[in-house]
């Protein structure tokens, strides 16, 4: 089962999820529905040790994310430490949750890049998506402060039915804010996004139009790089999720649980905790990290498919969420016997008038309680 250790290459990308608390309640958030159960139990020294161990293995990119990383009081020290270790440090933030005076301090601590989540070019839509009335103002101020302090600014915009018609305005706004890059991401349907899919999924026509507007911008101006992440629900092949399980990425969640991707703990596997094992032991020897390495775990149609080197059978979390078997092909693939699950979700969402559920603690606790009630029956 376990592939030869020599074939395991070290992680290049480490993502620290400092907390799952967040002042915003984005309906498209990929965080786990039961995030209210995740305790913030990593101390500053625990984070330091994880960074040292990962760096010693050869990791070079560090993402600091969450929830909202600005809520962690040790953020500046963590950035400073990361910089001393010679990581390339990326802060992935909503821009809400700390006083704006933190921006120059982040720069001074050695931060390289801010990836700022922006939902809309107007205040009303931002509030609609995030359930927070100050979000828009705070984000604008944060973006401005990043540029004034010489930080590289990447704007991340998650596209849903609520904002897809604003693509043109969002591109122009990102340019006015001086963004170095704009990433327009058609969201991945995990966590809260999957729960809310009927309220979020745009139509194929809306997507085509958004793509056309993006291309028009790209052809006419090149000052800002614009990436357009295509949504896999409208595709017939899955994405090569995380570049292969346990090949490149390592996420540590707020409790210290080590994961091959941000949402892997939705799978029925036992993930090791960095408070019990070294990063190296976790990466090389843990059962969970070895579980989907190589292709011996695959079932048909992946097992004999000539494209398995290309997409590794797609995303394990998506396979499990939609088929209840984590060894299945990602049902986005039209060779999968479960592909109809994806197409029927697309169909269903078109006519649905479901209201999205905000990602907050109370909703999370209700979901946890309902699950318990169901499993007791």
- Choose, by CB under 8 A, the member of 3, 39, 41, 58 that binds other proteins: 58
**Residues whose CB falls within 8 Å of the CB of residue 373, separated by 6 or more in sequence, listed in order:** none
Q: Is 117 in the site for ligand SAM (CB under 6 A)?
A: yes
154 near other proteins (CB under 8 A): yes
Q: Is 28 in the site for ligand SAM (CB under 6 A)?
A: yes
Is residue 260 within the footprint of ligand SF4 (CB under 6 A)? no
Picked from ligand SAM, ligand SF4, other proteins, none, the partner binding residue 193 (CB below 5 to 8 A depending on kind) is ligand SAM
Count, residues near ligand SAM per rule CB under 6 A: 20
**Contact flag: residue 31 with other proteins (CB under 8 A):** no
**Is residue 254 close enough to count as binding ligand SF4 by CB under 6 A?**
no
Binding characters for ligand SF4, 297-336, by CB under 6 A (x = yes): ----xx--x-xx--x-xx--------------xx--x-x-
Q: Choosing among other proteins, ligand SAM, ligand SF4, none, which partner's interface includes residue 246 (Cβ < 5 to 8 Å by kind)?
A: none
Q: Which is nearer to other proteins, 53 or 328 (CB)?
A: 53
CA 349, 350, 355, 358 torsion-angle sign = positive
Of the candidate spans 180-188, 265-273, 313-321, 336-344, the one that interacts with ligand SAM by CB under 6 A turns out to be 180-188
Task: Tell me which residue has tokens 């592939």.
Answer: 3
Nearer to ligand SAM, 50 or 158 (CB): 158
- By the 8 A CB rule, do 17 and 262 touch? yes
For residue 6, the minimal CB distance to ligand SAM (Å) is 34
Nearer to other proteins, 56 or 350 (CB): 56
Counting contacts by CB under 6 A, is residue 138 touching ligand SF4?
Answer: no
**Residue 359's binding partner, choosing from ligand SF4, ligand SAM, other proteins, none, with beta-carbon cut-off 5 to 8 A by kind?**
ligand SF4
* Residue among 21, 61, 168, 229 that touches other proteins (CB under 8 A): 61
The edge-to-edge listing of strands for the beta sheet with 113-117 is: 225-229, 181-186, 152-159, 113-117, 88-93, 61-65, 13-17, 249-252, 258-259
Q: Which stretch binds ligand SAM (CB under 6 A): 72-80, 181-189, 279-287, 304-312?
A: 181-189
Nearest to 102 by CA among 68, 142, 133: 142
Q: Tell me the three-class secondary structure of 126-163, residue by residue.
A: HHHHHCCCCHHHHHHHHHHHHHHCCCEEEEEEEECCCC
Q: Is 228 in the site for ligand SAM (CB under 6 A)?
A: no
Q: Is 286 in the site for ligand SAM (CB under 6 A)?
A: no
Q: Among ligand SF4, other proteins, ligand SAM, none, what binds residue 12 when CB lies within 5 to 8 Å by partner kind?
A: other proteins
232 binds ligand SF4 (CB under 6 A): no
Give the contact letters, 95-124, x = binds to ligand SF4 (CB under 6 A), - = no: ----------------------x-------
Measured from the Cβ of residue 204, the count of other Cβ atoms closer than 10 Å reads 13
Q: How far apart are CA 289 and CA 250, in angstroms?
A: 10
Residue 183 within binding range of ligand SF4, rule CB under 6 A: no
Tell me which residues touch ligand SF4 (CB under 6 A).
22, 24-26, 29, 31, 66-68, 94, 117, 237-238, 301-302, 305, 307-308, 311, 313-314, 329-330, 333, 335, 359
Instruction: List residues near other proteins by CB under 8 A.
Output: 10, 12-13, 57-58, 60-61, 86, 88, 90, 112-113, 115, 150, 152, 154, 180-181
């Amino acid at each position: 089962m376990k592939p030869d250790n020599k074939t395991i290459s070290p992680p290049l990308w480490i993502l620290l999820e400092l907390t799952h608390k967040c002042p915003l309640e984005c309906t498209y958030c990929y965080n786990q529905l039961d995030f209210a159960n995740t305790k913030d139990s990593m101390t500053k020294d625990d984070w330091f040790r994880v960074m040292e161990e990962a760096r010693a293995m050869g990791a070079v990119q560090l993402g600091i994310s969450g929830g909202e990383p600005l809520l962690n009081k040790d953020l500046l020290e963590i950035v400073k430490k990361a910089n001393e270790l010679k990581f390339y440090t990326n802060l992935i933030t909503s821009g809400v949750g700390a006083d704006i005076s933190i921006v120059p301090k982040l720069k001074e601590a050695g931060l390289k890049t801010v990836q700022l989540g922006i939902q809309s070019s107007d205040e009303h839509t931002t509030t609609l998506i995030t359930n927070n009335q100050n979000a828009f103002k705070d984000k604008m101020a944060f973006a401005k402060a990043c540029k004034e302090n010489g930080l590289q600014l990447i704007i991340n915009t998650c596209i849903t039915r609520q904002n897809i018609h604003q693509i043109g305005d969002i591109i122009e706004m990102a340019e006015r804010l001086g963004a170095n890059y704009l990433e327009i991401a058609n969201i991945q349907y995990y966590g809260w996004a999957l729960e809310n899919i009927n309220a979020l999924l745009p139509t194929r026509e809306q997507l085509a139009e958004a793509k056309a507007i993006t291309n028009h911008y790209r052809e006419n101006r090149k000052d800002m790089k614009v990436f357009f992440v295509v949504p896999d629900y409208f595709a017939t092949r899955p994405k090569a999720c995380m570049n292969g399980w346990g090949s490149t990425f390592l996420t540590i969640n707020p409790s210290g649980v080590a994961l091959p991707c941000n949402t892997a703990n939705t799978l029925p596997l036992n993930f090791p905790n960095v408070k019990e094992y070294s990063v190296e032991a976790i990466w090389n020897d843990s059962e969970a990290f070895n579980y989907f390495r190589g292709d011996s775990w695959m079932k048909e149609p992946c097992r004999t498919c000539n494209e398995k080197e290309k997409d590794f059978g797609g995303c394990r979390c998506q396979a499990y969420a939609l088929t209840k078997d984590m060894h299945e092909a990602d049902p986005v693939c039209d060779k999968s016997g479960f592909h109809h699950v994806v197409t029927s979700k697309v169909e269903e969402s078109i006519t649905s008038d479901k209201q999205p559920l905000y990602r907050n603690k109370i909703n999370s606790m209700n979901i946890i309680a309902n699950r318990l009630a169901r499993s007791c029956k």
